[in-house]
Structure 1
Amino acid sequence: MIISALAFTFLNVFVKSLNSFSVYQIVFFRSIGTLFFTIPFLLKNKISLLGHKRGLMIGRSVFGLISMTLFFLSLKYIAMGTAVSIRYIAPIFAAFFALFILKEKIKPLQWLYFAIAFAGVLLLKGFDSQEEITGILLAISSAIFAGLVYIMIRKIGTADHPVVIVNYFMIISAAIGGLLSIKGWINPSGKEWLIFLSLGVFGYFAQLYMTKAMQVGETNEVAPLKYLEVIFTMIIGLVWFGEVYSFWSLMGILLIILGLTLNVVSKRKPKS
């Protein structure tokens, strides 16, 4: 999970460094880079690229594309650590959607932990004059659509291989991102080509090691480690981009991480 957090961090940093390019061009390269891993894997292992629950996978891909685009856009307005922190409230929206769509229950204590996390978002939004309201709203919107992604994945269940689901996401993202980027396309320089091509690599390994971590470790022990991405991103943002975090920013981010970590731990099943 620590390797995954580092990979996500570098993905965030490189997206931020491509600020002069349109978000659609970034989405296109992010998706194309990952397809170089997913398609050979599926072909080598003789797994159908079409899968079974195609309608749900298309829906998951569209929601994922919207979430990713909104998140990349938010990085143009606010500090990376802030954007990443807000994106991580997606499980809260997922829990709300699951309540109505999947008829799942939410423990009373979880409502308290959700409130703590939302209080952190309100601190970021209401007390820090350095944060652009546009960026905050984009990051929150990204988290809402990410919550819908979780619901779609739950509905897909184990009917399709995880790489098939990711492959759908990347193909649709590459196609739509590529089409939307044609009008404002900017030819990258040599160094920028390297950064663009690395997006898919870091994105793929970030997802891969996060999945492996969830497979070999208990969720309540492993999941909180993914919030290391916030710390890594903040440190690099401070050093590389000179980003500044006020006291209220830090308090808001701390409350978000605290609320979400407590939520994960609260769902731990007692050992028999």
Structure 2
Amino acid sequence: MKKKYLGIIYIVLSAFCFALMNMFVRLSGDLPSVQKSFFRNLVALVFAFAILKKDRVWFSGKRENIKYLFLRSAAGTVGILCNYYAIDRMVLSDASMLNKMSPFFVIIFSFFILKEKIKPPQILIVAGAFLGSLLIIRPTAHIFQSPAALVGLLGGLTAGLAYTYVRLLGEKGEKGPFVVFTFSTFSCVVTLPFLIFQYHAMSAMQLVYLLFAGLCAAGGQFSITAAYFHAPAREISVYDYSQIVFSALLGFFVFGQIPDVLSWMGYAVICVMAVLMFLYNNRGKDEGRTHA
């Protein structure tokens, strides 16, 4: 139980860190998403390298893991770019909510990649979460003229794919800091050419905001890794949705943003689906205890 409570604390801490990251990204102003992503990952790269050097934990040596590290890094990079694009063009809590569709996409990708069975209640819950996202996206005939919401949803999808590969890499013996290091290095290398040719001059304050965003991102990455180290995902993943509350509060106090009624309805639906998924995943465990 102590480990479970520690896991809850860590995952709430990670949610707060990621909400702060989104806030600092928004505060950094009108800069390309690629430029923001580079500085965000550069800070995480330095932190991950320092931990790897201190603990002397590097690549496991399993050649089959190389392709999974690549796929995790590619999906994660796309997810960050989409998320930052949405953050700059949407209400902060809306963008965060769409990004938090990732746990549901993990279930879908786990079926195809990890060969995990999806039961009918899980399919219904995932469908309910998607319907909740439609309240935020509010698709109309003109949706393709303002694609920020769809890009945000794509960010949630690719983040879900990335987390699926994180789970796979963990099962195959890779350590969390090395996965973070590989992902951060890949993202920096991919975005560097765009940064060189399309660099936008930044003020000292913008640079400070991006460095703070990177610090918060690093805190979020390592906190969520620690959370899943202390407790299984099915017991604590629902607490990751506390980021919605943090983002809504930061959006209100820092940017004066007030989500409309449909957005709040979307938040409520997705959060309810998250709780239902949490209860369903723990049902079998509780029944096992009862029979025991």
Residue 159 of structure 1 pairs with residue 173 of structure 2: yes
Counterpart of 1:114 in structure 2 is: 126
Which one of 178, 192, 214 corresponds to residue 206 of structure 2? 192
Pick one of 78, 92, 95 that aligns with 1:66.
78
Distance 1:23 1:98, change over 3 A: same
Q: CA deviation at 1:221?
A: 4.3
Amino acid aligned to 1:20: D
Contact 1:77-1:134 at 8 Å conserved across structures: no
Letter in 2 for 1:238: F
- Give the structure 1 partner of residue 147 of structure 2: 134
Structure 2 distance, partners of 1:45, 1:51, is 17
Percent sequence identity over matched residues? 25
Relative distance call for 1:133 and 1:121 in structure 2 (3 A) is: farther
Where does structure 2 lack aligned partners over 5 or more consecutive residues?
1-10
Aligned equivalent of 2:222, options 201, 204, 208: 208
Equivalent in 237, 240, 244 of residue 258 of structure 2: 244
Q: Which amino acid aligns with 2:179?
A: I
**1:262 corresponds to which residue?**
276
1:146 aligned partner: 159
**Residues 73-88 of structure 1 aligned to structure 2 (within 5 Å):** 73-88=85-100
- Name the SS for the 2:199 alignment partner: coil
Q: Give the whole-Å Cα distance in 2 for the aligned partners of 1:184 and 1:244.
A: 33
The 1-side partners of 2:167 and 2:237 are apart by: 17
Query: Does the 8 Å CA contact 1:51/1:164 hold for their aligned counterparts?
Result: no
Contact 1:7 1:205 in 2 (8 A): yes
What is the distance in 2 between the residues matched to 1:26 and 1:58? 21
Provide, for residues 154-206 of structure 1, a one-character-per-residue CA deviation record: whole Å limited to 9, x for no partner: 33224211111110100011111221122221232222222121222111111
Per-residue CA shift, 1:200-233, capped at 9, x if unaligned?
A: 2111111222222233345444222211111111
Deviation string, structure 1 residues 71-111 (Cα, Å, up to 9, x no partner): 11111221111111111112222222222333211122212
1:7 to 4, 12, 17: 17
Residue number among 45, 51, 54 corresponding to 1:41 in the alignment: 51
Alpha-carbon contact 2:79-2:155 (below 8 Å) kept = yes
Q: Which residue of 2 aligns with 1:32?
A: 42
- Whole-angstrom CA distance in 1 between matches of 2:193 and 2:255: 30
* Residue 232, structure 1, aligned to residue 246, structure 2: yes
State the alpha-carbon separation in 2 of the partners of residues 266 and 127 from structure 1: 30
Distance verdict in 2 for CA 1:153–1:159, change over 3 Å: same
Separation of aligned partners in 1, 2:244 and 2:24: 15
Aligned with 2:267 (options 253, 257, 260):
253
The two structures, once aligned, show a CA RMSD in angstroms of: 2.2
Higher mean C-alpha deviation, range 32-41 or range 86-95:
86-95
The residue that corresponds to 2:189 in the other structure is 175
Among 96, 102, 114, which residue is 1:102 paired with?
114
Give the conservation status (yes or no) of the 8 Å contact 2:29–2:206: no
Q: Structure 1 unaligned segments of length 5 or more: list them.
A: none
**Number of equivalences:** 271
Cα distance in 2 for partners of 1:99, 1:217 equals 22
- TM-fit CA distance, 1:47: 2.0
C-alpha distance after superposition, 1:13-46 (max 9, x if no partner): 0111123111111111001101121112111222
TM-score by length of 1: 0.91
Counterpart in the other structure of 2:5: none
Name segments (4+ residues, structure 1) moved above 3 Å: 49-52, 217-221
Distance 2:110 2:194 in 1: 32
| AA in 2 matched with 1:64 | G
